[in-house]
Structure 1
Amino acid sequence: MHILSIVSGVLALVLAVFWAGVGISGLSGRLERNRWFGVRSEETMRSAEAFALGNKVAAPGFLAAALVLLIGGVLAFGGDLGFLFGFGGVIAAFVIAAVAAGVGVRVAATVPEPEEESGGCSADCCSSGTDEQHADDPAADCGTASCGSCALQGMCTTEHAAEPTQPADAAH
């Protein structure tokens, strides 16, 4: 048996196990939002609901890719030209998985954006004062009784806090 046949067969079988695991996890809803496995795009990563839905829709395609890989991997051990089945299965499976992921992304895009939680802060970044007081300088309350959302957004850095407050039209 040719070494390329063995390599392509093993590669196809390992990828079959991987795609089967991702497909089963996505279909059953056990695949939690992460940065390594499943359909990961801007649309799916914006909420746990979008991630779960996108991966659930893509899961049958992932399982089909796993099946193609399994068949290609087994046929790769069939002789000197078996590597064509192994590598052909890998290529076909990646095409199937890419199409399935694309469908998952499109479905995840239909999930509404999650509402931002303010954590008790007002909608204008800083909780002390009025909107008019923060119109010119949103970091005007740095160091005062604020919820800290400005500091979390980098508004209360040492450089910014040291700058004198200027009217918005005088800054240019």
Structure 2
Amino acid sequence: MVVDVIVLSVVAAVVVFALAALWLVVGGLGIVGRLPRNRWLGVRADESMRSDEAFQVANRVAAPGLFAAAGILVLSGIVTLGIGGYWSIAFAVVGVVAALFVVGLVSAYGVRAAAAVPADDEGCSCCSTHDHDEPAADPAGAPADTADEAHAAECGTSSCGACSLRAVCSNESAQA
């Protein structure tokens, strides 16, 4: 029974340290502006995903909080390994909850900062502003098979779906 508690403590500490390492990396990339816009890491809200600049601003604002959350997790992991017993698992859980609170708080600040970034009105509007039923010509003048292909060529992407991360196609049904 004592071995089970020690194993659980070590597993909890490893999970806590891994999460701390992840937030350190994301915070570091965010603060220097090298975190690419993606679906998995960083501040991902409609406001931050609308452009690369908005994503970088949101993550640069949130980065110091990610460092603080990682610090909380490191301390929690050290206490988890140092105490042992059932209380060590409780310290790991409390550390994760506290770190998640900090991350949520700084992410909200990042979203507010991203909302302040001016929208790029001259860019691609992808799916939301054209007729999907009519064939069209691409910006270079060559005929395209569909309006989607023409508009995707205007956007510089291979398909209209590339803009879905920016939530401009949100008026279309995801089930269709």
Q: What residue ranges of structure 1 are gaps of 5+ in the alignment? A: 119-123, 127-137, 156-172
Q: Output the CA distance in 1 between the equivalents of 2:74 and 2:15.
A: 10
Change (3 A) 1:38 1:149: farther
Q: Deviations over 1:109-159 (max 9, x none)?
A: 0111112347xxxxx969xxxxxxxxxxx94x758x67759611799xxxx
Matched, 1:46 2:50: yes
Q: What residue ranges of structure 2 are gaps of 5+ in the alignment? A: 152-176
1:129 aligned residue = none
The count of residues paired between Structure 1 and Structure 2 equals 138
Q: Output the CA distance in 2 between the equivalents of 1:25 and 1:100.
A: 16
Taking structure 1 as the reference length, the TM-score comes to: 0.70
Alignment of 1:1-172 (within 5 A): 2=5, 3-77=7-81, 78-80=83-85, 81-117=87-123, 139=134, 148=144, 151-152=147-148
Pick the structure with greater CA Rg: 1
Change (3 A) 1:17 1:109: same
Determine what percentage of the aligned residue pairs are the same residue. 39
Q: CA RMSD in A?
A: 2.9
CA shift for structure 1 position 99: 0.7
Change (3 A) 1:59 1:147: farther
Q: Output the CA distance in 2 between the equivalents of 1:148 and 1:51.
A: 32
Q: As a proportion of its length, which structure holds more helix?
A: 2
Letter paired with 1:100? V
1:163 aligned residue = none
Letter paired with 1:87? V
